Amino acid sequence: MSTTASSAPAAVEGPESGRAFLGLGSVFVYRLLSVIGLFTIWEIAGLIPISVAFPTFSDTMQALWEMTADGRMTDAYGETLKPLAVGVSISAVFGVAIGVGMGLNRLFQWTWEPIFVVLQASPVAALIPLITYAYGIGLTAKTVAVMILAAPIIVLNTYKAVRNASPTLIQMCRSFQGTRLQEIWKVIIPNAAPVIFAGLRLGVAAGFIGVILAELLITPTGIGDLISYHRSVAEYAHMYAAVFSIIVFSAVMVGLLEKVETNYFRPEKKKGH
């Protein structure tokens, strides 16, 4: 084939060649506008007020600052993070491993699928008394609550992603003498990575729900304690500050996972949008 410059086809213009606004990417500007809009509506809703139990955005931020400054927030997160980190880590490691196994092997799938489908379908708040009966009211019970919420999502997403790996890519790997192990590591898992990570992001978010649920329903500790205590003494700004902080924290964790995915598994997405 000719190697002259004229025969080299031009690169395709990707959709990512976005415009800039004031030197910022347009995506960033839109996100910022969305966040500002939300906070403005919150402030207005608090000023009306739509309920005496609904503080303004500025009051909430003030309460957040106060609790951060006097160390209450740090102590609360120290408590909340223990079952959360342990539960999410176990769910992620074993969840992905079990999901990959289910995707690759039918017998493995039939063994595990019913358990996780039942767990995913069940209303977890109703299972919490059962958890306390079995594991007491300590760290173990809260970790189990996190896992019950996080693991099924991670397992089932991983399993679907692996099972639906591109048949042509698998054939390609075989046609170039790839072994089964190479097929799994070099084709199936990277191919499934976007959906596996989508499952991990949903799983981590569900883990946050699990830990707050456990702290509200089992014994009040950490962020759950801040929420229920301030509600009981009608310090609604402080209560919402705790809720707000856990949402932000959860969003940051989910965002970090996305970074891990693009950096280590799907580098082509970095060039995308």
Partner 1 sequence: MASVTAMQSPHAAPDPAKDNIVEVRDITKFYGTDIHALDSINLAFPTSQMTTLLGPSGCGKTTLLKIIAGLLEPTAGEVFVKGKPVTGPGPERAFVFQDFALLPWATVLRNVAFGLELTHQPKAEREEKARQYIDKVGLGGFEDKYPHELSGGMRQRVGLARALAVNADVLLMDEPFSAVDEQTRRKFQEDLLHLLSVEKKSVIFVTHSIEEAVYVSDQIVLLSPRPGRIHSTIRPEISRDASPDDIRRDKAYLDTVEEIWNNLRKYLD
Residue entry with tokens 């289910």: 102
Q: Which is nearer to partner 1, 102 or 165 (CB)?
A: 165
Question: What length is written for the chain?
Answer: 273
- Is the distance from CB of 161 to CB of 195 less than 8 angstroms? yes
Q: Where are the alpha helices (DSSP H) in 122-268?
A: 124-135, 139-163, 167-175, 180-182, 189-217, 222-232, 236-260
Give the interface segment with partner 1, choosing from 196-204, 205-213, 238-246, 263-271 (CB under 8 A). Answer: 263-271
CA distance 262 to 271: 10
Note whether 187 binds partner 1 by CB under 8 A. yes
Q: Which is nearer to partner 1, 190 or 220 (CB)?
A: 190
Burial of 93: CB neighbours in 10 Å, binned 0-12, 13-18, 19+: exposed
Note whether 257 binds partner 1 by CB under 8 A. no
Provide the token pair at 109. Answer: 């799938």
Q: How many residues belong to the site for partner 1 (CB under 8 A)?
A: 33
Note whether 17 binds partner 1 by CB under 8 A. no
Site for partner 1 in 154-183 (CB under 8 A): 166, 168-169, 171-179, 182
Q: Which is nearer to partner 1, 119 or 189 (CB)?
A: 189
Provide the token pair at 173. Answer: 């790997």
CA angle 128, 133, 137 (to 5 degrees): 75
Rounded to the nearest whole angstrom, what is the least distance from the CB of residue 252 to partner 1 in the complex? 25
Task: Please give the single-letter amino acid code of residue 120.
Answer: Q
Rounded to the nearest whole angstrom, what is the least distance from the CB of residue 4 to partner 1 in the complex? 8
Note whether 32 binds partner 1 by CB under 8 A. no
Q: Which is nearer to partner 1, 3 or 23 (CB)?
A: 3
Give residues in contact with partner 1 (CB under 8 A). Answer: 1-3, 7-9, 11-12, 14, 166, 168-169, 171-179, 182, 186-187, 190-191, 193, 265-268, 271-272
